């Protein structure tokens, strides 16, 4: 049996630093759990001068990551570089060299996961990725190992801390999106360019991984519908509250007969849904499956140490496999490769759900019937209307909640309403996710 496990760490950014720190500070409990030391042999980064508050002189430092993946002594390569370029090349090279790989690279897995998983399987290697979705929450392990006897029916997640922080700020303080984003930046919860987070792409990367894994299918990332939170206003959040809802950016996937829904957009969820109480930068995910009903995981979805915790969990899993010569023990997508299916994603225009509409309309007789008339012509019936609110530039906000409607009909109706004389500004549409919605 091996006397130690040798680790090569690629990338000393936030999470990479957390991984190095945890391997140093908590080695005693890791040895007690694994039985042999996990030795951090190499650290590779293009900038090794920057101070990370770590004593690095006991490790081999290199700016050449290929040196690490080519070293025959390295058992596990931990890819913490990110992005779809050099990270992908290094992972492929590591697999080719017979190494086990841990990554947190959701963008890479969302777009090239199918191929990377095949490469790993062909090499009999483990490619672990718990940290790619939900930070410290063990959602990958739960899907791959715990819920294996279940048919997964749907998953709903709050998977981006930046967006959840911003929406929480708008909700709690009644401020506009831009002001909330500024606060997120000031607190280090948003990047200088926040597009990837606030426009929903990061959430979609994670949703792609969950959808593949939950249903044992390959997914084309471009088939996922993605809508961010930058249009959400305090007015809509206040209206949502009046109807008993909170607005969250959700990753949603639902299994149909021979299709799946996979979409990312702001949605209204009722107060009694635990997800509506997940605030600030925290993440959570609900999995609905035939045997368990609903199960929810909650925790920090990002940050140095929570994400490092997931990486360390993966390292230990792989170390335990290495000590037993059992790599490849759990199929990477939970399903055996020859059982992985091709399932089409339902285009957004074909989904049916409940809708919240907010218009700015002239405050005069007949306007309401004009708007609801257009909706009716497209087969959309209205459950309730709320017209109270402040007058702004001669218009008042009019809010409507629909009965079950088809997205395509909704979009066609809104296109007509948008150009009505009595309506100022573009209409707002927010989808409602409420299992107990009264028709």
With binding defined as CB under 8 A, does residue 78 bind a second copy?
A: no
Q: Which of 41, 141, 254, 354 binds a second copy (CB under 8 A)?
A: 141
**R_g of the chain, CA atoms, integer Å:** 24
Report the Cα–Cα distance between both ends of the chain, in Å, rounded.
Answer: 63
Taking the complex as a whole, how short is the minimal distance between the CB of residue 57 and a second copy, in angstroms? 23
Helix axes 27-34, 304-324, angle to 10 degrees: 30
120 three-class SS:
helix
Cα gap 438→226, rounded to integer Å = 27
Pairing of strands 245-255, 260-270: antiparallel
Only one of the segments 7-15, 99-107, 318-326, 352-360 lies at the binding site for a second copy (rule: CB under 8 A); that segment is 318-326
Three-state SS at 387: coil
Which is nearest to 156 in space by CA: 436, 438, 432? 432
Supply the minimum distance, in Å, between the C-beta of residue 212 and a second copy.
14
Q: Which of 39, 169, 206, 248 is catalytic?
A: 206
Site string for a second copy, 44-73 (x = CB under 8 A): ------------------------------
Q: Does 211 bind a second copy (CB under 8 A)?
A: no
CB nearer to a second copy: give 150 or 370: 150
User: Whole-number minimum distance, CB 417 to a second copy, in Å?
Assistant: 38
206 is catalytic: yes
Applying the rule CB under 8 A, the residues between 347 and 406 that interact with a second copy are none
Beta strands 38-44; 60-62: pairing state: parallel
User: Burial level of 70, CB count in 10 A (0-12/13-18/19+)?
Assistant: middle
Contacting residue, 26, 97, 114, 386, with a second copy by CB under 8 A: 26
**What residues are paired with 128 via a beta bridge?**
102
Q: Is 33 in the site for a second copy (CB under 8 A)?
A: yes
Distance CA 300, CA 284 (A): 8
Angstrom CA distances, 359 to 289, 291, 387, 417, stand at: 37, 42, 10, 9
CB-CB contact of 215 with 260 (8 Å): yes
**3-state SS, residue 124:** coil
Work out whether 334 is an interface residue with a second copy (CB under 8 A).
Answer: yes
CB of 217 to a second copy, least distance (A): 11
- One residue of 1, 3, 32, 365 binding a second copy per CB under 8 A: 32
Q: Does 164 bind a second copy (CB under 8 A)?
A: no
- 290 in contact with a second copy (CB under 8 A): yes
Residue 2 touches a second copy, criterion: CB under 8 A: no
Q: Is 137 in the site for a second copy (CB under 8 A)?
A: yes
Nearer to a second copy, 278 or 400 (CB): 278
Least spacing, CB of residue 339 vs a second copy, in Å:
4
Window of 86-94, 181-189, 225-233, 306-314 that interacts with a second copy by CB under 8 A = 306-314
Query: And the tokens for 282?
Result: 């925290």
To the nearest 10 degrees (0 to 180), the angle between helices 106-122 and 201-215 is 30
Distance CA 207, CA 257 (A): 19
Residues with active-site annotation: 206
Residues that bind a second copy (CB under 8 A): 18, 22, 26, 29-30, 32-35, 130, 136-138, 141-142, 145-151, 216, 272, 274, 277-278, 289-300, 305-306, 308-310, 312-313, 315-317, 320-321, 323-326, 328-331, 334-336, 339
């Amino acid at each position: 049996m091996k006397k130690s496990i040798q680790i090569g760490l690629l990338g000393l950014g936030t999470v990479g630093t957390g991984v190095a720190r945890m391997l140093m500070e908590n080695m005693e409990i890791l040895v007690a759990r694994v039985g042999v030391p996990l030795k951090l042999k190499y650290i590779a980064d293009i900038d090794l001068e920057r101070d990370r508050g770590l004593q690095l002189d006991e490790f081999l430092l290199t700016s050449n990551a290929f040196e690490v993946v080519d070293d025959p002594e390295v058992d596990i390569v931990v890819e913490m570089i990110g992005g779809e370029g050099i990270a992908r090349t290094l992972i492929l090279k590591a697999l080719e060299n017979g190494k086990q790989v841990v990554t947190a690279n959701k963008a890479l897995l969302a777009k090239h996961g199918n191929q990377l998983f095949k490469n790993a399987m062909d090499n009999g290697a483990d490619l672990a990725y718990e940290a790619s979705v939900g930070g410290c929450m063990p959602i990958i392990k739960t899907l791959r190992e715990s819920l294996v006897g279940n048919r997964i029916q749907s998953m709903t997640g709050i998977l981006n801390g930046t967006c959840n922080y911003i929406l929480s700020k708008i909700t709690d303080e009644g401020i506009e999106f831009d002001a909330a984003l500024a606060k997120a930046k000031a607190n280090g919860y948003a990047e200088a360019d926040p597009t990837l987070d606030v426009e929903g792409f990061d959430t979609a990367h994670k949703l792609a991984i969950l959808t593949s894994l939950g249903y044992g299918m390959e997914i084309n990332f471009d088939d996922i519908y993605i809508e961010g939170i930058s249009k959400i206003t305090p007015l809509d959040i206040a209206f949502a509250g009046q109807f008993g809802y909170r607005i969250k950016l959700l990753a949603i996937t639902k299994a149909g007969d021979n299709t799946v829904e996979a979409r990312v957009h702001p949605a209204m969820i009722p107060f009694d849904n635990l997800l509506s109480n997940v605030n600030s930068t925290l993440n959570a995910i609900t999995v609905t499956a035939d045997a368990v009903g609903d199960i929810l995981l909650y925790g920090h979805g990002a940050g140095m140490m929570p994400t490092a915790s997931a990486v360390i969990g993966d390292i230990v899993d792989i170390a335990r496999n290495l000590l037993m010569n059992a790599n490849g023990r759990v199929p990477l997508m939970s399903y055996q490769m020859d059982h992985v299916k091709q399932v089409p994603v339902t285009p957004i225009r074909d989904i049916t759900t409940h809708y919240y509409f907010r218009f700015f309309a002239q405050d005069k007789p007949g306007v309401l019937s004009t708007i609801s008339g257009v909706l009716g012509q497209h087969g959309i019936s209205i459950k309730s209307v709320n017209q109270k609110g402040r007058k702004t530039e001669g218009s008042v906000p009019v809010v409507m909640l629909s009965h079950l409607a088809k997205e395509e009909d909704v979009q066609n109706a809104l296109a007509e309403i948008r150009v009505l004389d009595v309506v100022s500004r573009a209409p707002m549409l927010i989808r409602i996710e409420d299992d107990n919605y009264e028709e």
